[in-house]
Amino acid sequence: MRILKKLSFVITLCLVGIVVSALLMYRNSVTRGGSKRVVTNSVTISMREDEYIPNSLTVKKGTKVVFFNATSVARWPASNLHPSHLMYPEFDPKEPVLPGKSWDFVFGKIGTWEMHDHLAPYITGVITVIE
């Protein structure tokens, strides 16, 4: 009887370990597949009513980011700080992006660049540029 209890305990412990390991592997794969992915050629950020999708992105230096206006109002993506955009002055279209239109920008400076919508500064995001 004691051996059966010990065996049952060991089997239960192994099953718990397998379930925990599977959950951790799943969580890590979701994290890698989300905003942590590294883009090398071109990527599109959709400018929505109240957000950028994705709002956090890691790209390699030289990557083209297309900012597509998916709203019915003008949008204006730009680097912080609002309203000067001096953190990365080139990262600024200098005019609104009209509904259904897009603006492309090639990120040539390594760093973490916070951004906002110049016309709706509460809409924010961040683009990290790596070598």
Note the pLDDT of residue 5: 75
User: Full-prediction pTM beyond 0.85?
Assistant: no
pLDDT at residue 37 tops 90: no
Mean pLDDT of 47-68: 98
Mean pLDDT of 60-80: 98
Note the pLDDT of residue 23: 44
Choice between 20 and 97, residue whose per-residue pLDDT is larger: 97
Note the pLDDT of residue 8: 72
Note the pLDDT of residue 19: 44
Averaged pLDDT of the chain: 84
Vertex 49 angle, CA 86 and 85, to 5°? 5
Note the pLDDT of residue 63: 97
Percent of the chain exceeding pLDDT 70 equals: 75
Residue 71 has phi, psi (to 5 degrees) of: -115, 180
DSSP state of 85: -
**CB contact set of 7 (below 8 Å; sequence gap of 6+):** none
